């Protein structure tokens, strides 16, 4: 990692009509660290994550990537498409539903951004795509279309597609939630490797094990508010806040059998 990004989220608000999805969010995401976002369904985790690469527009406040405001040139003044695309190049994103392009092979999926966004020649892009796929353990599946890959493999292609662009920040939105339990491990392993290399990662997850063992900090959200940010241990094992306690109780009950 030549240089991992830092993200500064200051007083961010987001409305869907009259409904406030994000309430005055303040969060510092240190470079080279893993931040996990947890919280009940509908609490605004995805919304916050998607604001970081401006897939979702926030209404007020600031989100800065390495000091640079994303989505706006100045508060209230949207930046140009070109500038936004420029910033997005440095931010990888992995979705719950993989969102691979079904008409392209694994290798073409990964090469696409290198060709269209980075402007690499096709042969170069293909070689790099192959490298990225080998890195996620899919060296033998490069010619497969997504329909011919398992969920875990598809998600690893999606990760390869993001890392091939050499991002300095990676956003994950419940990357393992759509997977059968036996496929979760292979994806988490790739993510751990990435974290070990010093990538800045923001991970929305229901995998408390991952949060406990890999995260450097855990942020808990509820009803659009950021309730607490702390070391994983202090959120997951000694939570002070009643809302966190109740969330973890439900979580443990659901996972007990």
Partner 1 sequence: MEWSVFQQYGPMLLRGFGVTIFCWLMGTVLAMGLGLIIALMQRYGPRPLRWLLQVYIEVIRGTPFLVQLFVLYYGGPLVGLRLDALPAGLLGLTIYGSPYFAEIFRSGFNAVPVGQLEAARAIGMSETNIIRRILLPLGLVSALPALVNFSIILTKETVILSIITVPELMYQVSRMSTETFRYLEANLVLALFFWGLVETISRVGRRLEARITRHLIERV
DSSP state of 146: G
DSSP state of 80: P
Q: Note whether 109 and 146 are within 8 A (CB).
A: yes
* Contact window for Mg ion (CB under 5 A) among 42-50, 58-66, 147-155, 181-189: 42-50
CB closer to partner 1, 43 vs 109: 109
Q: Buried b vs exposed e over 86-124: b needs ≥16 C-beta within 10 Å? A: ebbebbbbbbbebebeeeebbbbbbbbbbbeeeebeeee
Q: Is 101 in the site for partner 1 (CB under 8 A)?
A: yes
* Contact window for partner 1 (CB under 8 A) among 7-15, 33-41, 160-168, 174-182: 160-168
- The tokens for 167 are 């991002």
Which of 5, 35, 43, 46 touches Mg ion by CB under 5 A?
A: 46
The site partner of 41 among ligand ATP, Mg ion, partner 1, none (C-beta below 5 to 8 Å per kind) is ligand ATP
Q: Is 116 in the site for partner 1 (CB under 8 A)?
A: yes
* Contact window for partner 1 (CB under 8 A) among 2-10, 12-20, 95-103, 212-220: 95-103
Stretch (H or E) spanning 248: helix 242-255
Q: How far is the CB of 14 from ligand ATP (least distance, A)?
A: 8
| Cα–Cα distance measured from residue 218 to residue 118, given in angstroms and rounded to the nearest whole number | 33
Q: Which ranges in 117-207 belong to alpha helices (H)?
A: 122-135, 151-163, 181-196
CB closer to partner 1, 8 vs 56: 56
Stretch (H or E) spanning 210: helix 208-214
CB closer to Mg ion, 177 vs 238: 177
Q: Is 213 in the site for partner 1 (CB under 8 A)?
A: no
Residues between 121 and 150 with contacts to partner 1, criterion CB under 8 A: 145, 147-150
* Contact window for partner 1 (CB under 8 A) among 100-108, 185-193, 208-216, 227-235: 100-108
């Amino acid at each position: 990692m030549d240089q991992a990004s830092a993200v500064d989220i200051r007083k961010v608000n987001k409305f869907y009509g009259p409904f406030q999805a994000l309430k005055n969010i303040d969060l510092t995401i240190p470079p080279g660290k893993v931040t996990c976002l947890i919280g009940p369904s509908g609490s605004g985790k995805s919304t916050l994550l998607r604001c970081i690469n401006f897939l979702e527009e926030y209404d007020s406040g600031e989100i800065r990537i390495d000091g640079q405001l994303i989505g706006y040139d100045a508060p209230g003044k949207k930046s140009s498409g070109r500038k936004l695309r420029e910033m997005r190049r440095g931010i990888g994103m992995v979705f719950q539903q993989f969102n691979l392009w079904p008409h392209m092979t694994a290798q073409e999926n990964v090469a696409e951004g290198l060709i269209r966004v980075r402007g690499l020649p096709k042969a170069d892009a293909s070689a790099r795509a192959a490298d990225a796929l080998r890195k996620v353990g899919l060296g033998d599946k490069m010619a497969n279309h997504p329909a011919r890959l398992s969920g875990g493999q598809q998600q690893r292609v999606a990760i390869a597609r993001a890392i091939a662009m050499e991002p300095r920040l990676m956003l994950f939105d419940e990357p393992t939630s759509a997977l059968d339990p036996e496929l979760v491990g292979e994806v988490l392993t790739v993510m751990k490797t990435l974290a070990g290399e010093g990538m800045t990662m923001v991970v929305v997850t229901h995998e408390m094990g991952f949060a406990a063992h890999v995260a450097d900090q855990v942020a808990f959200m509820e009803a659009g508010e950021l309730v607490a940010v702390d070391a994983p241990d202090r959120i997951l094992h000694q939570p002070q806040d009643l809302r966190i306690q109740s969330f973890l109780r439900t979580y443990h009950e659901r996972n007990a059998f």
